[in-house]
């Protein structure tokens, strides 16, 4: 069974970096696409980006140069780093697997709530 | 960015009702649209992908359709477990974008 689990700090100070890990079991991250999606208070959802099976990445331009998604294939993990956070980055962060154009984001982590506050 | 307009923003319906939720795209996205059900404390659950395909494990009372740039998620007979927020997502063009969601409640 494919399982994803996010981990990372639940509280980050403004101007600092937010770093999250998504640990995947039951499937290799060297296949398919692996993304980060967040849900803000008030229910808006935002696709942040993904890392592909080959290690290539695609990011939401709204995040400009603040975002980086990387991976460690030996640990079957991928990572989100978001720099220079503000209170507007307070959200629940989800990692998810995407099959590509042939399917949906089909497996999701439980989500981790991150609050940006001093 | 492609804008997805979901309507209604919220609605209430009775058990057994036929319910249709709509998502309108600001530009052509072909069939690259999926629907997700989100309940509090749980991750989003995929319901429909490629506009009309039922995701794995989704009950057959759910269906997706497309008419031009209008996409619909239909529940043929509402059950209590269907109360949730439903989101559409386009994955035709970067950045992928979500609609604002429809909150579905029981009357």
Inter-chain CB proximity A104 and B43 less than 8 Å: no
Residues from chain B that touch A111, judged by Cβ atoms under 8 A, are: 43
The Cα–Cα gap between B107 and B95 comes to: 36
Q: Which of A79, A69, A89, A65 is nearest to A16 (CA)?
A: A89
Average pLDDT (B59-73) is 98
Q: Which residue has the tokens 């770093």?
A: A19
Q: Could you give the angle at the alpha carbon of B74 between the alpha carbons of B69 and B76, nearest 5°?
A: 155
Tell me which residue in B34, B97, B100 faces A104 most closely, judged by beta carbons.
Answer: B34
- At B9-58, the pLDDT tens digits run 999 999 999 999 999 999 999 999 999 999 999 999 999 999 999 999 99
| CA distance, residue B18 to nearest chain A CA (Å) | 24
What is the CB neighbour count within 10 angstroms for residue B45? 18
Residue B8: cis peptide before it, omega within 30 degrees of 0: yes
- At A88-112, the pLDDT tens digits run 999 999 999 999 988 899 999 999 9
| CA distance, residue B52 to nearest chain A CA (Å) | 11
The Cα–Cα gap between A51 and A49 comes to: 7
| CA distance, residue B4 to nearest chain A CA (Å) | 12
Identify the pLDDT of residue A72: 98
Chain B interface with A: residues with Cβ < 8 Å:
32, 34, 36, 38, 42-46, 48-50, 55-56, 85, 87, 89, 91, 94-98, 100-101
Confirm if B104 and B73 have CB atoms less than 8 A apart: no
- Return the number of CB contacts < 8 Å for A and B: 60
Inter-chain CB proximity A46 and B32 less than 8 Å: no
Q: Is B60 helix (H, G, I), strand (E, B) or coil?
A: coil
């Amino acid at each position: 069974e494919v399982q994803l689990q996010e981990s990372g700090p639940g509280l980050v100070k403004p101007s600092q970096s937010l770093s999250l890990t998504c640990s995947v079991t039951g499937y290799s991250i060297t296949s398919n696409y692996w993304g980060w999606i967040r849900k803000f208070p008030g229910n808006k959802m935002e696709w942040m980006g993904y890392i592909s099976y080959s290690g290539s990445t695609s990011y939401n331009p709204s995040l400009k140069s603040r975002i980086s998604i990387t991976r460690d294939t030996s640990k079957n993990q991928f990572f989100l780093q978001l720099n220079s956070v503000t209170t507007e980055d307070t959200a629940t962060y989800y990692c998810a697997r995407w099959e590509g154009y042939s399917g949906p984001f089909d497996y999701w982590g439980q989500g981790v709530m991150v609050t940006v506050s001093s | 960015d492609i804008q997805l307009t979901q309507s209604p923003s919220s609605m209430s319906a009775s058990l057994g009702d036929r319910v249709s939720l709509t998502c309108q795209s600001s530009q052509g996205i072909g069939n690259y649209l999926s629907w997700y059900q989100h309940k509090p404390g749980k991750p989003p659950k995929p319901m429909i992908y490629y506009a009309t395909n039922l995701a794995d494990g989704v009950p057959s009372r759910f269906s997706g359709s497309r008419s031009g740039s209008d996409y619909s998620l239909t529940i043929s007979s509402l059950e209590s477990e269907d109360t949730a927020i439903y989101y559409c997502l386009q994955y035709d063009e970067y950045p992928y974008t979500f609609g604002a969601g429809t909150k579905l409640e029981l009357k």
